[in-house]
Amino acid sequence: MHVSVSGVCHFFLRSGQTSVRSSAARFVSSFPVTKSPSRLTNPLPVPRSRAAMEAPAEAAEEATHPGKRRHDEPEEQETSGRGKRRRGAGGKKLPPGERYVPPPQKRNPGVSFSQEHFDETSYYFEGGLRKVHPYYFDFKTYCKGRWVGKSLLEVFESEFRAESIEYYRKAAGEGRIRLNEAPVEDLSVVLRNNDHLRNTVHRHEPPVVGRPLEVLVDDGEVLVVDKPASIPVHPCGRFRHNTVIFILGKERGISELHTVHRLDRLTSGVLLFARTLETSKKLDQMVRDRLLEKEYVCRVEGEFPEGELVCEEPILVVSFKIGLCRVDPKGKESRTVFQRLSFNGRTSVVRCLPLTGRTHQIRVHLQYLGFPILNDPIYGSSAWGPHRGKGGLVGKTDEELLQALVEENRSQENPLLLDVDDCVRVSQEAELNRRADTSGGGSDNCERLQKAEDGDRVSPSRDGVDPPSAASNGGPAQDAAASRRDHLCSECKLVRADPTERELVMFLHALRYKGPDFEYSTRLPDWAKEDWVEADWS
């Protein structure tokens, strides 16, 4: 292992935002790197990044945990007299039969995950996989603008069809659905602006590879890990505990990390976190000045041309929610330098330098060139048509393409193959949001509140439910309780085959991350070695 230290990190920078200044011919002849101990100075200000809005309940869930509310206790209701009076409601009486909705309450931003969140459940290892015991969890959201005036029943029927209406009725009967912290007894209740919905579910997370996270550098300023494929960086979709952030917190007691860049779930390699906000600001300025360089290595289908090849096709985002992209003249300027390292008769190992930082840039450019990354479940998919997107030939609208990817994913025996699967309902919800916005549905205030709440971090609540008792992380009491079945949970009734390593690994690896006076790298993956053949990989 060759690691060079002295790096710094940037706060909540997405993978598609990193830029690089490098000459096209600047390729190192060997992978070991040298050590640069110098530190960065003169921290510069950086604007705070904006939390992305995610859908509630069955839709994808952003990284979640609690901040303190301005008012922690529910409003106290007075029922005497014809009208209803609420403490904190300005002394106003409500007409008979009208439901009071408390005002929205802000949360403190930037609070890190704590031991309370890590103790929600525990890991166990089986068949080379890291697994999570099922656990109870709350999804929270404020009423969306398009929901105003609709009953809870209508919302569940139209937008949360992962479960049947009978399930939601039973869940409400057991106190698992709460409106403004009060158990919902009747799903016919009509939603109003600022209503706060809480849905308690029995949560199952997909397994990931069981290889430990290897910490390459931890010097108080920066934390660098070698991320295995299949593990998301932060909570998203169906993943929470099986993420890099939670594994570091649960197994190493490391928290309050600032993300430098995000690697795709199926991508492996160098992953950086800042230990301090000051460090993250320094790196952000480097990104603005295009002083950072990333180097990847991948294995692609076919015989990649020898020599240096530069792709400068513009990249357009098809879906912001799931990050799906394609080459399009209306897209943003993009530039990637490729160089073939080896060819084994069927596949080629290629070194990649993304000189711009577009989402999925390497994957999209290689697809365009006709050499998709081996095992890429999205850009190597037949859903792109007979040419699989080569030369930008798709022959489908963006909506048709997304639907084709969804249908192909559903036809697979193992639904873990596509990141799209985690975000299908999010994409559908984004389209509903777009239509609601263009038709004027809902109030602007409600939509703003929704965005703020969805970016907040929430914690599990056990009100009205009989979930597993809390125990220390990994303790036998919790293991036994958390693994029990829930009588309402549809996932508990399914028997899923474990994914194979082949299904959890895409042949793309972040090999090196370099700045003016620091450099971090990992060793070359086995699949990137010249003598590797696919038949040898189980």
User: Any idea which residues carry the catalytic annotation?
Assistant: 264
What is the SS3 assignment for 531?
coil
Q: Are 163 and 141 in contact (CB under 8 A)?
A: no
Q: How far apart, in whole angstroms, are the C-alpha atoms of residue 269 and residue 19?
A: 18
Q: Based on the number of CB atoms within 10 Å of its own CB, is 30 exposed (0-12), middle (13-18) or buried (19 or more)?
A: exposed
Nearest residue to 188 (alpha-carbon basis) of 157, 164, 167: 157
Retrieve residue 103's tokens: 């005002």
- Strand pairing class (129-132; 123-126): antiparallel
Q: What is the dihedral of CA 168, 179, 468, 490, to 10 degrees?
A: 20
DSSP 213: P
Retrieve residue 413's tokens: 């025996």
Q: Are 52 and 359 in contact (CB under 8 A)?
A: no
What is the residue-wise DSSP string for 377-404? TTTT-GGG-TTTTGGG---S-HHHHHHH
Q: Based on the number of CB atoms within 10 Å of its own CB, is 11 exposed (0-12), middle (13-18) or buried (19 or more)?
A: buried
- Strand pairing class (268-274; 508-515): parallel
Around 121, how many Cα atoms within 13 Å sit in the side-chain half-sphere?
25
Q: Which residue has the tokens 């600032």?
A: 258
Nearest residue to 491 (alpha-carbon basis) of 160, 123, 162: 162
What is the residue-wise DSSP string for 298-339? EEEES-PPSSEEEE---EEEEETTTTEEEE-TTSB---EEEE
Retrieve residue 299's tokens: 């294995």
H or E stretch at 117: helix 115-118
Find the radius of gyration of the CA atoms of the chain: 25
Q: How far apart, in whole angstroms, are the C-alpha atoms of residue 36 and residue 33?
A: 10
Q: Based on the number of CB atoms within 10 Å of its own CB, is 401 exposed (0-12), middle (13-18) or buried (19 or more)?
A: buried
